[in-house]
A and B are shown apart, each in its own frame.
Chain A
Amino acid sequence: MTDVKSEKSSHTASGWSRRSVLKATSAGAVGAAATPLFYTQNAWAEDAIGNYPVKGSEVVLGFNVPQTGAYADEGADELRAYKLAVKHLNNGGGMLDTLKPSKLTGNGILGKKVTYVTGDTQTNADASRTSARRMIERDKVIMVTGGSSSGIAIAQQYLCNELGIIFMCGLTHSNDTTGKDKQRYGFRHFFNAHMTGKALSPVLSKEYGKDRRAFHLTADYSWGHTQQQSMQEFTEKEGWSTEGNIMTPLKTTDFSQYLSQVLNSDADVLVLNHYGANMVNSLTNAVNFGMRDMQKNGKNLEIVVPLYSRLMAKGAGSTNIDGVLGTSGWNWALEDEGSKVFVKTFTDEYGFPPSQAAHTCYVQTLLYANACEMAGTFYPPEVIKALEDFKFTGAGNGDTLYRGADHQCIKDILVMQGNSPSARTSDFDYLKIVDQVDAKTVDYDPAIFGGELGPYVPA
């Protein structure tokens, strides 16, 4: 003790040595250089938002998908994709090799191992909110993702926004999700009804002519309404007229009462703004009503399904969907590098190719992780800023922009057509790609749908 004391005192007594001056100067230089960085980092660290800061060596993601109910098959495929994304985030592989620009290393997110919890939305807004809240409050997830219906996605998006948790939408196609209901904490990679209308209508008028009369049957909820409006708007721009529109309750299984109305009208095109089981039922019913072999106004009566999925096509059966046109966000037959590597890793893992729902969920998880890496933090406002106006490629839809103004991805979308039973070579190619409509064509002014993103730091 005495020795130390004396050393200290001798040090003080001798004033500044050359060595201590050098030490102090270099420390000061490092400190000065890092000052702006320290300020920003301290600013994040001071604000706890949602489940930020992330404690421990693991970070938890919440996958909230329909595990029961009408969209359970789609939910199951989404969950497969999420698990694959976690595997790739922790160990590398998959789209980590194709996504550009990317800071993903295959070593988790920001050095933390990625784990996950799952929930069941039951395709029910209340159940989805309860499940999301449980993940946020009990399991401390930093991000929630999932959903296979717009009503559910919007409900979760509002909740997450309020609680300061980023919500990466799964399959949701309503204009409202990134339109009037958009939220600062909500992001959608999937395309929307407006883009469907824009991409599909020119193909329809080329295929079926400009003098057509359309009758719409529309699922009575957020997505159906916006899908109908968009299809009507863009088909009328092509010269078509609209004979009528009937809103059908979501739980309808027999559409004969509505199809009788179509039979009784002058319409020569039937637009089915239905998704999932709804579309399977309405299309099958329409075929039973002979609508695929019928002539109206001297033309063949045509059926259009604006939003297509492989699972729906399979449910309806290839005889019924043969030749029917619609759109998809992605298809496993795409030949770009990102799609190929995703299809290969998914098929190796599960034995069959992924659906478009699986694709969007997988990409959303990677994009969120990459945004954290780019921001250098899990602090939500910084992650949001990293996602906003992020331009990327190698994720399966060509060059893509995550538009900052409404959190909508602007990317290529696909016009699809039902394959005939004889043209089908496997249990997975119910649909074939007719056209890949580029991002520029389907782009639109985000202001047309109104809505406000709100502040970066939730009130």
Chain B
Amino acid sequence: MDMTLNAFTLYILTGLQLGSIFVLIALGLTLIFGTLGVVNFAHGALYLIAIYLAVSINNALGFGLALILVPPILFVFGVLMERGLIQRFYDREHTDQILVTFGLAIVLQELLKWVFGANNIPFAIPSWGNGILMLHDYLPFLEGFVVYPKWRLILVVVSIVTVAAVFALLHLTRFGLVIRAGMRDAEMMQFLGVNINRRFMIVFGLGSMIAGIAGVFGGPVTQVSPEVGMHLLVPSFLVVVIGGMGSLGGAVIAGILIGMAQSFTAPYINLNTVIIYLITVVILLVRPRGLLGAKGVFE
């Protein structure tokens, strides 16, 4: 296939859009790992709960309510999950954490399949986000007719806004300052009289809430079926590893990198299937802590 400017633009947009979903899921994963030190393999299942909630609310009451309700519900769910289960594993081995969260993911997935069936549930895109955008109207360097689905471009914007909000929260607020300090040295923070456990609970809820946002906007793109969570978990986890465990910036760069790699290798099935793993291997060989990983973390 010729690499014209039109084709190149489509490749880039597709890469950005694929990367957006990875970034949104990896953001929650890496936030939870960075603060709590927990490898949360149930994060894909949180996304799954989000898309099922979103599609149910969207199809019954409209997209507006889905957008208002799903992220807070996921926040509460995340908090309950942290209090009920995850906190008991803070002092345990990473393998124990992985086993319990992976087990939870399977239970949640089968539960959703039991309730909603294994078949896909169509997610109707709201009218304002439906249809395609005539890119050639906005980008003069494109020749002829070049279009892209509006919803996927909205997803990219949502992803950028969410990333910016999380960065702002962590770097511009007092809450963020405490969290970042807690990430450095939780024990010292407790000595200073800060209830770091309560804040970590909120961080877990926040990670879960980002999965909620991803579910509301990503549902129509990834579709709503019980397998989706697991399918997204592996690439998202690799995004976290490539970016550096616990690094938000790393997750963003790695997410886009993986998205681009998938987009540009699409015509070549053999490469397309393994490209994520290939990139992971190369990066871990060259830089074991990941692109922006902190020294000594998972190195």
Query: A residues within 8 Å of B by Cβ?
Result: 68-73, 220, 244, 246-249, 251, 253-254, 256-258, 260-261, 263-265, 277, 280-281, 284-285, 288-290, 293-294, 311, 314-317, 320
Contact = CB atoms under 8 A, between A and B. Distances in A.
B122 A320 contact: yes
Given A70-B227, A264-B6, A314 B18 contact: no
Nearest to B272: A249
A173 to B, nearest CB: 18
Given A256-B17, A263-B147, A290-B132, A315 B119 contact: yes
Nearest to B147: A290
A315 B120 contact: yes
B103 interface: no
A72 B121 CA distance: 14
Nearest to A264: B7
B110 A68 contact: yes
A241 to B, nearest CB: 16
B195 interface: no
Contacts of B151: 288
A290 B149 contact: yes
B80 interface: no
The 3 closest A-B pairs by CB, nearest first: A317-B122, A290-B132, A72-B118
B278 to A, nearest CB: 15
A288 B220 CA distance: 9
Output the residue of B18, B113, B225 with the most chain A CB within 10 A. Answer: B225
A258 B266 contact: yes
A294 B144 CA distance: 14
Contacts of A248: 269
A246 B223 contact: no
Contacts of B231: 251, 253
Contacts of A284: 120, 122, 220, 223
B131 interface: yes
Contact of A246 (B7, B221, B267): B267
Contact of A289 (B6, B110, B149, B232): B149
B274 to A, nearest CB: 10
Contacts of A316: 120, 122
Contacts of B132: 289-290, 294
A285 B148 CA distance: 11
Nearest to B11: A260
Interface in B255-289: 262-263, 266-267, 269, 272-273
Nearest to B8: A264
Given A73-B119, A260-B263, A254 B10 contact: no
A284 B220 CA distance: 9
A251 B234 CA distance: 12
29 contacts: A69-B118, A70-B227, A71-B118, A73-B117, A220-B273, A244-B267, A253-B232, A254-B18, A254-B221, A256-B17, A256-B149, A256-B152, A256-B221, A257-B18, A257-B266, A257-B272, A260-B263, A261-B1, A261-B267, A265-B1, A277-B119, A281-B120, A284-B122, A289-B148, A290-B132, A290-B147, A315-B120, A315-B122, A316-B120
B125 interface: yes
Contacts of A244: 1, 267
Contact of A264 (B10, B118, B120): B10
A294 B149 CA distance: 12
B223 A253 contact: yes
Given A69-B118, A246-B266, A280 B152 contact: no
Contact of B14 (A246, A256, A314, A317): A256
Contacts of B11: 260
A249 B273 CA distance: 7
A71 B119 CA distance: 8
Given A260-B14, A280-B225, A315-B122, 9 more contacts: A249-B272, A253-B227, A256-B17, A284-B120, A288-B151, A288-B221, A311-B119, A316-B122, A317-B124
Contacts of B98: none
A285 B267 CA distance: 17
Interface in B121-137: 121-122, 124-125, 131-132
A277 B119 CA distance: 7
Nearest to A67: B118
Interface string B8-35: 0011011001100100000000000000
B279 to A, nearest CB: 15
A13 B83 CA distance: 102
Contacts of A288: 125, 149, 151-152, 220-221
A316 B1 CA distance: 30
Interface string B94-115: 0000000000000000100100
B76 interface: no
A316 to B, nearest CB: 7
B222 interface: yes
B234 to A, nearest CB: 10
A257 B272 CA distance: 10
Contacts of B118: 68-73
Contacts of A277: 119-120, 223, 225, 227
A351 B122 CA distance: 23
B228 interface: yes
Contacts of A69: 118, 227
Output the residue of A72, A254, A320 with the most chain B CB within 10 A. Answer: A254
Given A72-B113, A248-B269, A289-B132, A280 B10 contact: no
Nearest to A249: B273
A225 B267 CA distance: 15
Contacts of A254: 18, 21, 221-223
A317 B223 CA distance: 12
A356 to B, nearest CB: 15
Contacts of A260: 10-11, 13-14, 263, 266
B270 to A, nearest CB: 9
A320 B124 CA distance: 10
A249 B269 contact: yes
Contacts of A264: 1, 4, 6-7, 10
Contacts of B266: 246, 257-258, 260-261
B131 A290 contact: yes
